Structure 1
Amino acid sequence: MSPAELLALARAKSARIATAESCTGGMISAALTDVAGSSDVFDRGFVTYSNAAKVAMLGVAPETLARVGAVSEEVAREMAEGALARSQATLAVAVTGIAGPGGSEFKPEGRVCFGLARCGGPTFVETVEFGPLGRAEVRRASVERALALLATALAEV
């Protein structure tokens, strides 16, 4: 689904969207706001690249970061729920991962964790192993997956 189609679906469902982005650095927000008229659906985006930003802007618990690290479903969940709580949105998507180059045997390049929080519903989290595709491709694939998660959630409303 294209960003324009996603925004039209959100508009039809009277939904508002927020994003919380780490490894994508605002690319999800940019994809949505590239569409003219998106301001009636897109509420705000949080670019929280550092752990300090995740804590200060989204309320991610320092204990969670210390225990499992930024690239985890736990942090993706807290990011999504924090974006929802700190916005006028009804739906928030979060992404945190290792776009590369680099990574480790425990957290390899291409691992991206997603969170999707919605008003009145459970928060969904998942980890996708995109593999060592290169930084640009992992980020592009992460944006596509985040938009698909939003579209799926909107279809269920």
Structure 2
Amino acid sequence: MSNQIYFDAMKAKGLADAADLQERSSSLDGTALYAEEDKIPDFAEAVKVRNMLERKAGQKDGFVCRSTAGRVVRLLQVYDSEIYLQEPEELPAQWGFVWSTDPDKALPFLTLSTSPYAKGDCCTAGGKTWRSKIDTNTWSPETNPEFWEEVKK
């Protein structure tokens, strides 16, 4: 019985941390969001709790979650997640992808005109880590390396 008390306390703390992060998310950039990614709900679990029709949407203050691929995403426009079952990577019109300037948080390059990389954002491609040299970068480091610099870790 006493283990249940600890479990309930940890669950309540986790829910409070997640709610606090959602509240603050509009003031956080991608690097700050990735720094607190343990407080960001997984997309699949979030869908189980509430339909995306009921979540807050917006470029700066939309619901934040993490795709199965580990990308932090922000809900741009509501949609029925009981009908559209795909991951955010397959629904780029609904989701804004958030990138980090921290090379250790870099994820594989993703071509999305709706979520370009800003100057300083990092990604991986071709077994290397890259940092964007320009804003609104949608070009792959492998095909257009002039828009990227390799990050030496």
TM-score range, shorter chain: under 0.3
Q: Report the structure, 1 or 2, having the larger helix content.
A: 1
Provide TM-score, normalisation by structure 2: 0.26
Q: Report the structure, 1 or 2, having the larger strand content.
A: 1
RCO higher in structure (CA 8 A, sep ≥6): 1
* Greater Cα radius of gyration, structure 1 or 2: 2
Provide TM-score, normalisation by structure 1: 0.26
